[in-house]
Amino acid sequence: MGSFGSVYKGVLEDGGAIIAIKVFNLVRRGAYKSFTAECEALKNIRHRNLVKVLSVRSGSDYSSNDFKALIYEFMVNGSLEESLHPAGTNGEINDRQRSLTFYQRLNIAIDVAMALEYLHHHCHTPTVHCDLKPSNVLLGDDMIGHVGDFGLAKFLPIVCA
């Protein structure tokens, strides 16, 4: 994730579903605003090419510090950035990572375009992502692109002509 926290892989007790847990580092300046923006953006939007939020957690940790987290559907193929630049830390190719074919790249670009078209033209409140980059495009097991990380999203006023 970026400067506002970390993402962890988890398993739900009921059924064993794999999830991604985005825990916000609330000590970092802007983390509360990022959490609020992401919740606001994702509360009323549903699209095949957007990350699916399963739950939101807000409360206190074991030391009575504020705790905020978002729980997402896990994307088994990681981010587009990892697929575009598949070198490991030592320069070797990770087994999980692979080069994308031209058609996979084209389909992912179409997936991202469909998500943006939905956000800009079909949401109740038009939404601008403001942080679209390969690390914020996640790939499911079917290599379908899902736009994520709405921490910098902006909501546009509806202008009636």
Q: What is the pLDDT of residues 99-131, one digit of tens each?
A: 899 999 999 999 999 999 999 999 888 999 999
**Residue-range domains of the chain with CATH:** 5-155 (1.10.510.10)
Mean pLDDT for 96-100 is 67
48 or 89, higher pLDDT? 48
158 or 157, higher pLDDT? 157
Examine the pLDDT at 1 and tell me if it is beyond 50.
no
What's CA 103's distance to the chain center, in Å?
Answer: 23
Is residue 131 annotated as a catalytic residue, yes or no? yes
Q: Which helix (H) or strand (E) holds 90?
A: none
> How far is residue 66's CA from residue 58's CA, in Å, rounded to a whole number?
8
Choice among 14, 95, 111, 131 that is catalytic: 131
CB 138 within 8 A of CB 75: yes
Residue tagged 């030391």 (tokens): 63
**Percent of all residues in the chain with a pLDDT value above 70, rounded to a whole number:** 89
Give the mean pLDDT of the chain.
88
CB 104 within 8 A of CB 96: no
